[in-house]
Structure 1
Amino acid sequence: MPNRTEDRAPRLPRGGRSYQLQTAATVISGLGNAGAPIATAFAVLRIGGGPGEIGSVTGARLAATVLFLLIGGALADRLPRHRVMVAANLGNALSQALLAVLVVTGAARLWEIVLLSAANGIALAFFAPAAEGMLMESVDQEQAGRAFALFRTALNSSQIVGAALGGTLVAAVGPGWVLGLDAVALTAAAALRALLRAPAGSALPGPGMVADLRVGWREFTSRRWLWAVVVQYSVVNAALVAAESVLGPIVADLRLGGPRPWGMVNAVMGAGLVAGGLLMVRWQPRRLLLAGTFGILAFGLPAAVLAAGAPLAVLGVAMFASGIGGTVYGVSWTMALQQEVPAASFSRVAAYDWCGSVALAPVGTAVAAPLAGGLGLDGALWACAAAMTLLSLLVLVVPEVRRLARCGAPEPARAVRAEATA
């Protein structure tokens, strides 16, 4: 039976000012970031590129993220996290502004887009571990589930608007202006994040970066549920990126009518993400990773619908379901990390999590075009859908994934948590 705290409306978590600033900044940057991938993909198409060129641009961004994530995680545990976030935002804004100028003036060449996409990936590598650690520090364990769900709901709401606006503006005025708006949004988000204050003692330098990374690696590998899900998600994410970042825009251009409908179905997925957030505000699943894994099962639906050549409305339903699954997974996973990983090493563990999760994504972008060439667009999409579904089921073989429970669960579930971290 739910306790009285769970029945009350969600309260602002401890460190409310920090939580509010982070949420506001994330909403602002989310408005720009949601339209930027659509703009970049169609910028490549408009200079004569195809699946291979889109894959190289996406792959460059992901590869740069993978290469720099561990450094970003170590720095985020050694330096004030909000300063790392601000620097990353400003670097990202600069690269997007340069790309916007090149695209608007018609001077963009493929190697320039690849290079600036890689710069965006480096910025993300420094931003993501710091942002996750900063959010964890601002939220009480008691209200963590609702706080994370509300945070994601705010972010995803901005992505609905951003994706719809991005697709519309790409069709109306061109991709360069959408990239410029992203640069403005990132700059505004950096200004808000500059107002954050790190909690006292949150940045405690260790004996050195290599030693710090070793500690983070021990924390990461000592939890079987953690690395099992990360390995699984690495393959799932590779298939997801191939389907939605490379093959999806091509199908949209050939069959769905171009960037505007593609932006709209991405906005529908954003609506699903918001619906999932509202669900997770009220629903507190006891088995965190079991709930999250079932959320991932929905990821393969859009690829399957695209492969089947179904109408746009059916694709919208699949994207909506995928969005719900994404938030169920995201909130459940974040809850598991917060309650099981020490705060002092959280950003390093988050960096290993991010690094593992996106490690194969560049491979997904690289093989998307050859796969489409060998199997056809539909065959490649079916392969992506199958990979996402099978890997989501396979990870359930790990007992800790099925049994890890949130704090306050009955004693047997807590015992399983202890086994998972032994």
Structure 2
Amino acid sequence: MTGFRQRFVVFREREFSVFFIGYVTSNLGTSMASVALAFAVLHNGGSLTDLSLVLAARIVPMVLFLLGAGVLGDRLPRRRVMLMADSVRALSQGTLAVLFLAGSAPLWAVLALAACGGVGEALFRPSFDGLVPEIAPKERLSEANSLLGMAYSVASVAGPALAGALVAVTSAATVLLVDALSYLISIGALLMLRVGNRVPDLGNSSMLAELRAGWQAFSAHTWLWTVTLQFTLFNLIVWAPYLVLGPVSADRDYGGPEAWGLIVGTFGGGSLLGGLLLLGRRPSRPLVVTTLITFLWAAPSAALAVRAPLWTVCAAALAAGVSSAVFNSLWMTTIQQHVPADSLSRVMSYVTFGAYSVGPIGLALAGPLAEFTSIGLVLAVGVGWQILANSVVLMLPAVRNLHAPIFGPEESSTANPTESADPTTFDTTTT
């Protein structure tokens, strides 16, 4: 039992516990809103084309603003940037809710507000990635990232189900209002954090110069840009086709949307299981572990390609969910431990930009390619690519030889204790 409790010892850190509450709440609201917005648009008389435009209106500005948001995350106190991001998201979602409740939500307004939400997401993410090492002890970063990943997984599973129930008994606009309120809770948690607001002295350098410096920090690590490139192509060749063709396969071979819901839910359950299994474990060569386990990312595509029984597809989705949780936790921890803190947000903006940049292309091409060839062939190509790419990455010395740092008892203090912060840079909102 003692060993089990040790896996949750990071909750003894006040800053992490406070932030965790806000993060869980806002993620639950966000996952609910993704379902509610679709129904709100359709119930307001919107077409499928309108819905596609609304979804794209959020993703496109998020991609466009990511790199600039990384600069802000390194130039300004990260908590302040996240407060600004959550304020933008709360305002945009709250305004959407009011418009839909009033029954007067023109498409142009919905598109503009969805774009504002995408900008808020872009602002939040790089600063969030950089803040985690400030609120968790460096020897507990792996547990902190695992717990945050588990929270995201739980929200991804529970949010859509809860949203569906609330839409049925209230309205989609009400769920959007709940999402706006969830960001207010996140804002409250951020205001309660006792973290220093020290930022590096960047002088009068331009944003372009800071982007170049961030690129240099990113490209200086062979393992970093290699795995990022692998992940970018994974989204293009493997995951985007799976997301498009998976529901079609479920409808064609397994009885319809209920089967797809079961597959997606099983993936979420696997993510939660993976996070639990990783707690308290710190592999000495984390990138070897992530590369080996992400062979399983292709398992659902392989099962669907050969029209395996539904229980086999679900088992493959479970394995992929475990793989996803282990990869995300170890990957984030490795970056946080090896990239200097003053460039971490910019580096993470390049990593995230790579993850999102070509995904929409894969989503757009998967359907036409499957019509021209077959669903099974497109999915099989993704499986083959994942096996080839992982094998190549595993051969790289930069990946195989990267070791996790070893922390001694004397390093058990928090990564950025409040006492060491420059008191002249404290935000007046700090409690």
TM-score by length of 2: 0.80
Q: Is the 8 A contact 2:135 2:195 kept in 1?
A: no
Aligned partners of 1:164 and 1:267 also within 8 Å: no
Structure 1 Cα separation of the partners of residues 170 and 249 of structure 2 = 22
Q: Secondary structure at the match of 2:195?
A: coil
Cα shift at 1:13: 4.1
**1:135–1:71 CA distance, 2 compared to 1 (3 A):** same
- How far the C-alpha of 1:104 sits from its partner, in A, is 6.7
Asked if the contact 1:28–1:185 (Cα under 8 Å) also holds between the matched residues in 2, the reply is yes
CA distance in 2, matches of 1:363, 1:160: 26
Deviations 1:187-229 (A, max 9, x none): 3222222322432524644432333222211111111110001
* Counterparts of 2:335 and 2:112, CA distance in 1: 33
Map of 1:278-297 to 2, 5 A cutoff? Answer: 278-297=276-295
Match of 1:330 in 2: 328
Name the amino acid aligned to 1:71.
Answer: G
How far off its partner does 1:128 sit? Answer: 0.5
How far off its partner does 1:121 sit?
2.4
What is the rounded CA distance, in whole Å, between the counterparts of 2:95 and 2:306 in structure 1? 39
- Superposed CA deviations along residues 159-200 of structure 1, whole A, max 9, x for unmatched, are 332243245556776755544433332332222223224325
Q: Which amino acid aligns with 1:304?
A: A
8 Å CA contact 1:69–1:125 kept in 2: the answer is: yes
Deviations 1:7-29 (A, max 9, x none): 98136449922211221111112
- Asked if 1:341 is matched to 2:339, the reply is yes
Q: Distance in 2 between matches of 1:331 and 1:269?
A: 16
Q: Offset at 1:119?
A: 3.0
Matching of residue 16 in structure 1 with residue 13 in structure 2 = yes
1:187 to 176, 184, 187: 184
| TM superposition shift of 1:125 | 1.2
Task: Pick from 30, 47, 58 the counterpart of residue 61 of structure 1.
Answer: 58
SS of residue in 2 equivalent to 1:405: coil
CA shift at 1:81, angstroms?
Answer: 1.0
CA contact (8 A) 1:54 1:246 kept: no
Alignment of 1:28-43 (within 5 A): 28-40=25-37
What is the RMSD of the two structures over their aligned residues, measured on CA atoms?
3.4
- The alpha-carbon distance between structure 1 residues 184 and 149, as it changes in their structure 2 partners (threshold 3 A), is same
Pick the aligned partner of 2:362 from 364, 375, 378. Answer: 364
Aligned to 2:412: none
One-letter code aligned to 1:227: W
Measure, in 2, the Cα distance between the counterparts of 1:163 and 1:348: 32
Q: Is the 8 A contact 1:41 1:249 kept in 2?
A: no
Change (3 A) 1:11 1:381: closer
Query: Which deviates more from structure 2 when the two are superposed, residues 86-95 or residues 353-362?
Result: 86-95
- Taking the aligned partners of 1:386 and 1:101, their CA distance within structure 2 comes to 48
What SS does the aligned partner of 2:192 have? coil
Cα deviation 1:73-111 (Å, max 9, x = unaligned): 111112121121122122223333444566677776776
CA distance in 2, matches of 1:198, 1:27: 20
Structure with the greater alpha carbon radius of gyration = 2
Is contact 1:167–1:263 with CA below 8 Å preserved after alignment?
Answer: no
Change in 2 beyond 3 A, CA 1:106/1:375:
farther
1:355 to 2:353 alignment? yes
SS of equivalent residue, structure 1 residue 216: helix
Task: Report what 1:70 is aligned to.
Answer: 67
Change in Cα spacing, 1:317 to 1:114, as seen in structure 2 (3 Å) is farther
1:163/1:267 contact within 8 Å kept: no
| Superposed displacement of residue 234, structure 1 | 0.7
Q: Residue 10 of structure 2 contacts residue 143 of structure 2 at CA under 8 Å; is this kept in 1?
A: no
In 2 relative to 1, CA 338–292 (structure 1 residues): closer, same or farther, beyond 3 Å?
Answer: same
Shift of residue 369, structure 1, vs aligned partner? 3.3
SS at match of 2:7: coil
Specify the alignment match of 1:49 in structure 2: 48
Q: How does 1:22-421 map to 2 (within 5 A)?
A: 22-40=19-37, 47-49=46-48, 57-100=54-97, 115-169=112-166, 176-202=173-199, 204-208=201-205, 209-239=207-237, 242-243=240-241, 245-249=243-247, 262-310=260-308, 312-408=310-406
CA distance in 2, matches of 1:22, 1:29: 11
Following superposition, the deviation at residue 276 of structure 1 comes to: 0.8
> How far apart are the structure 1 equivalents of 2:267 and 2:243?
14
CA distance in 2, matches of 1:105, 1:59: 24
Percent identity for Structure 1 against Structure 2:
36
| AA matched with 1:146 | E
- Do the aligned partners of residues 265 and 132 (structure 1) sit closer, same or farther apart at CA in structure 2, a change above 3 Å counting? same
**Which amino acid is the alignment partner of residue 157 of structure 1?**
V
d(CA) in 2 for partners of 1:382 and 1:104?
45
Which residue number in structure 2 is paired with residue 419 of structure 1? Answer: none
Deviation at 1:341, TM superposition (A): 0.6
Q: Tell me by how many angstroms 1:269 deviates.
A: 1.9
Please state whether the residue corresponding to 2:138 is helix, strand or coil: coil
Structure 2: stretches of 5+ with no match in the other structure: 408-431
Q: Is the 8 A contact 2:242 2:379 kept in 1?
A: no
What letter is aligned with 1:350? M
1:152 maps to amino acid: G
Conserved? CA contact 1:166–1:178, under 8 Å: yes
Gaps spanning 5+ residues in structure 1: where?
410-422
Residue by residue over 1:300-356, the C-alpha shift from the partner in whole angstroms, topping out at 9 and shown as x without a partner, is 223333444455544332222111101110111112112211111111111111112
CA contact (8 A) 1:238 1:358 kept: no
Q: Give the Cα–Cα distance (whole angstroms) in 2 for the partners of residues 322 and 220 of structure 1.
A: 27
When normalised by structure 1's length, the TM-score is 0.82
Q: Which amino acid aligns with 1:159?
A: S
